[in-house]
Amino acid sequence: MDQVSLGSTGLTVGAAGLGCGGNSRLGIGYGKSEDEAAGLVEAAFDQGVTFFDTARVYGTEGAVGTAAQSIGRDRMVIATKGMIYWKEADIDEAAFLQNFETSLRELKTDYVDLFSLHGIRPAYYQRARDIYLPILLREKEKGRIRHIGITESGPADPGQEMLSTALAEDDCPWEAVMLAFHMLNQGARQKVFPKTIEKGVGTQLMFVVRNIFSQPNLLDETVGALMHEGNLDPARIDAKAPLGFLLADGHAASLTEAAYRYARHEPGADIVLFGTGNVAHLGANIAAINMPPLPADDVALLKTLFGHLSGVGLDLPHTYSKVP
């Protein structure tokens, strides 16, 4: 497993991080038990994964905690997240702290390596900064949080306004951020990565592979709609195989592989998150993230054809398991 530094946190982890949310939620989203999900976490660790990203609302903290008891807590880097609002209603400080306590209990640990405010929309950023950040700083002083982060809500903030604001602060308090980035949603190259690199803020990439790349018909339909709307030039794109050039002459074995390789080698990318509920898929995902970059001509063409798009292919999970 390739090793990377998470910004300036001092954490060194595998480049492939297991995302424990998404539609699958370690297989729990498709009917697997918590013990089966814990087994998948253990299998990922056995293949070199050391960074595990979960959240209170995913309903997978228990599985990660169970796996940690088997693996050894000090051999894992565990990240979790807490909401500050739910269905447009604020979560007050007392409830937020109670949720944090529940996260620790579910994870069966007395500390988390990275705790992030979850899915913060632009309108909520000031509240996050003024009310909830001080709570996290107090918990950090107690040793119960090692590093503090913030994550965006990709579908609700396609222009990445929240992270642009957060990273523009002179005294930027966030040690790591989670952001959406993929082959047809490249805005972070201008809006996020320059600042994270400058300030030593770690990055976790989400939405790297979503339905748009794993369901070919969806990709074709999406590109067709973008061409119809005038957002893509039909003269430059094969409507029947919009990303076919990535598979030509063995450049990549699949769009999934291409998507992971593209994100992994973007300047400013630290951890590439992948999600699965199937042990058989672990090896393929990890191998793709560890592969060399795509050919430079392919990367340049992706930028030329799709670099101006925003908010494409950012589908939300079907549902969360738990409310905060």
Each of the 324 residues of the chain gets a pLDDT tens digit; together they read: 999 999 999 999 999 999 999 889 999 999 999 999 999 999 999 999 999 999 999 999 999 999 999 999 999 999 999 999 998 899 999 999 999 999 999 999 999 999 999 999 999 999 999 999 999 999 999 999 999 999 999 999 999 999 999 999 999 999 999 999 999 999 999 999 999 999 999 999 999 998 999 887 999 999 999 999 999 999 999 999 999 999 998 999 999 999 999 999 999 999 999 999 999 899 999 999 999 999 999 999 999 999 999 999 998 776 665 666
Whether residue 318 lies inside any domain: the answer is no
Q: Please give the structure tokens belonging to residue 190.
A: 């201008």
Q: In which domain, by residue range, is 283 found?
A: 3-210+266-291
In a domain, residue 93? The reply is: yes
Work out the number of other CB atoms within 10 angstroms of the CB of residue 101. Answer: 10
Task: Note whether residue 79 is domain-resident.
Answer: yes
Answer yes or no: is 218 within a domain.
no
| In a domain? residue 70 | yes
What's the total number of domains in the chain?
1
CATH of the domain at 124: 3.20.20.100
Count other C-beta atoms under 10 Å from residue 138's C-beta: 12
Report if residue 130 sits inside a domain: yes
Question: Nearest to residue 45, comparing CAs of 10, 8, 25, 20?
Answer: 20
Closest to 303 (Cα-Cα) out of 178, 187, 159, 218: 187
C-alpha separations of 188 from 134, 209, 310 in Å: 27, 16, 10
Which amino acid is present at 21?
Answer: G
Strand partners, 178: 151, 204
* Confidence at residue 88, expressed as pLDDT on a 0 to 100 scale: 81
Beta strands in the chain (DSSP E): 3-5, 12-14, 16-19, 51-53, 77-82, 85-86, 89-90, 112-120, 145-152, 176-180, 202-206, 271-274
Site of tokens 């400080």 = 93
**Tokens for 18?**
């297991």
Query: What span, in angstroms and rounded, lies between the C-alpha atoms of 67 and 62?
Result: 9
Instruction: Judge whether 245 lies within some domain.
Output: no
User: How far apart, in whole angstroms, are the C-alpha atoms of residue 64 and residue 20?
Assistant: 8
The two tokens of residue 141 are: 């002083």
At 253, which amino acid appears?
A
Asked if 43 and 79 touch (Cβ cutoff 8 Å), the reply is: no
Tokens of 138: 């107090």
Confirm whether 306 is domain-assigned. no
Number of residues written out for the chain = 324
